[in-house]
A and B are shown apart, each in its own frame.
Chain A
Amino acid sequence: MDLSVNIGPLRLQNPVMTASGTFGYGREFAELTDLSRLGAIIVKGISLAPRPGNPPPRIIETACGMLNAIGLENVGVERFLTEKLPWLHQFATPVIVNILGDSVEEYAALAARLNDVEGIAALEVNISCPNVKRGGVAFGTVPETAAEVTRAVRAATSLPLIVKLSPNVTDITLMARAVEGAGADAISLINTLLGMAIDTRSRKPRLANVVGGLSGPAIKPVALRMVWQAAAAVSVPVIGIGGITTTEDALEFLMAGACAIQVGTANFFQPNATTTIVDGLAAYLEQQSLTSISQVVNSLRIDT
């Protein structure tokens, strides 16, 4: 039974990865999850300089989901390389580094810094960040700036390049095509959906940042629809993200056209959600008398 998948130039033992920001730097889950059994570990988003993040409250539970406004807190690239990455070398599991920036230049500088580092299998570019030079409009909501970031990172690295799309757009296929055209080896989606919640007693927003990103099972139908649309629009591999909690969820994304998936919020309430899904996918192949997970990918049947 073959669970392995190729994401552009990158080969994974199975299609199950951890979504950035939901699995720390891997070590946080080491006692509760077998890291060697993951398709890949995608670490918390890294910027050039450390970032302190937003004031609390940063997280709020909502119906079947949660809102977060962490504010991209991270230790910065240098501390990541000296304090976090070396510990992950003990596993054969590929490590994918998620990067973020305020400007096209910052993305390019990060990509260049990470290019020759040992033990990094690929970069995932989070383009849902505000473009400081353009009044804070997220890079990933304008096709031109999404392409500009992708092009700059592409020029700065020879690592496989995954561009992670923001769902906060009217037409996801425009973004998918824009980053494909600019040199992305693969596309991952979706990042969180912008949302908010209000405490009616105090009439204050529940998050200090007022708005935050919605994640978890609540967003799965939206994510699945966007993955299906994006997969039909581009020829590079698509990685599905959004509310994936069970094997069934993962299968839905694969059938919709994703060649791999990421588990995010589910890690928080089910620390071994990833490895449970790996086992579940193998069991599904056996039940269905299939030999390879690739037989599931894009196998959606729509009556015409």
Chain B
Amino acid sequence: MAEFQEKYTVLRQEQLADDIFRLSLDAPKIAAAAQPGQFVMVRTGESLDPLLRRPFSIHKVIGETVALLYKVVGKGTRVLTSLGPGDSVDVVGPLGRGFDLDGPGPRCLVGGGMGIAPLYFLARQILQQDTGPNPPILLGARTRAELQVLADEFTELGFVVLTATDDGSLGHHGLVTELLDDILHRVRLVQVCGPVPMMRTVARQCDRARVPCQVSLETHMACGLGACLGCTCPAREGGYKHVCKDGPVLSADEVAWI
């Protein structure tokens, strides 16, 4: 597995909503090596505060450009918003294990909030495999402002997108998981990334329908390299999984959902 630490030039910083941004980097090595579902560790600046790198999913790989989609939630992500074209940013990656690409047939992607980020990269990869008509992609967020632009980009790829918002401002008024039951019987694999309660629900739905399910997990991470052992999630078989190495994408039945 190839991993790199390099400084990459910022090509673009887009503001998609109040607190949602997209950072595009000229990162040829990562672009060449990355698999959908993998992540990078970003140093937000030279300063020792914030100290640790921040983990972000690889959102898009187009040519030699790698884009990250992020929401401002604290000091690290706030610092990132100050980057502009021509600035450089220190990135380690690509890291971790991504989504299975050659599954057994039609698959459904389910994304909630920033969990939508890795699904775009995955969706583009699925198109390249040309497996025939694809089931709808299910995307959820709090409100229309956080979802519209992203949902449109999946539509432009040629996917049918079903949306859900907490406030009903776009698509289904409610949880994105409520859209899944109607589709489950048509698919052979579900791949999901989003908040834990959402992934837990999807995992249960898939379990009941006996459809394999892959989840992409988030934990606090110090290294992203398998060295600090800080990124644990409880495993169903007992003990722990290390999200940065065993994941971030795991089979839903490997996880002890609590």
Contact = CB atoms under 8 A, between A and B. Distances in A.
Interface in A1-41: 21-24, 28-29, 31-32
A249 B225 CA distance: 24
Interface stretch (A58-66, A96-104, A223-231, A279-287): A58-66
B234 A22 contact: no
A52 interface: yes
A271 B229 contact: no
Contacts of B240: 52-53, 56, 73
B96 to A, nearest CB: 13
A64 B49 contact: yes
A68 to B, nearest CB: 6
Contacts of B221: 59
A32 B240 CA distance: 26
A217 B1 CA distance: 31
A57 interface: yes
A73 B229 contact: yes
A267 B239 CA distance: 26
A265 B227 CA distance: 11
Contacts of B222: 59, 66, 68, 265, 268
Contacts, number: 100
A64 B51 CA distance: 6
A229 B53 CA distance: 33
Interface string B162-204: 0000000000000000000000000000000000000000000
B125 interface: no
Given A32-B3, A60-B220, A272-B5, A216 B51 contact: yes
Q: How large is the interface on B (under 10, 10 to 19, 20 to 34, 35 or more residues)?
A: 20 to 34
Chain B's interface: helix, strand, loop or mixed, by majority?
loop
Contacts of A269: 43, 51-53
A61 B51 contact: yes
Given A217-B48, A267-B223, A268-B222, A70 B230 contact: yes
B232 interface: yes
Contacts of A64: 48-49, 51
A1 B70 CA distance: 47
Contacts of A57: 219-220
Given A53-B232, A268-B222, A31 B53 contact: no
A59 B220 contact: yes
B84 interface: no
A58 B230 contact: yes
A55 interface: yes
A53 B3 CA distance: 27
Nearest to A63: B49
23 contacts: A21-B229, A22-B228, A28-B223, A28-B225, A28-B227, A32-B5, A44-B229, A52-B240, A59-B220, A59-B222, A61-B51, A70-B228, A73-B229, A73-B240, A216-B48, A217-B51, A245-B48, A265-B51, A267-B223, A268-B228, A269-B43, A269-B51, A269-B53
Interface of B: 1-5, 43, 48-53, 92, 219-223, 225-234, 238-240
Interface of A: 21-24, 28-29, 31-32, 44, 52-53, 55-61, 63-66, 68, 70, 73, 216-217, 245, 265, 267-272
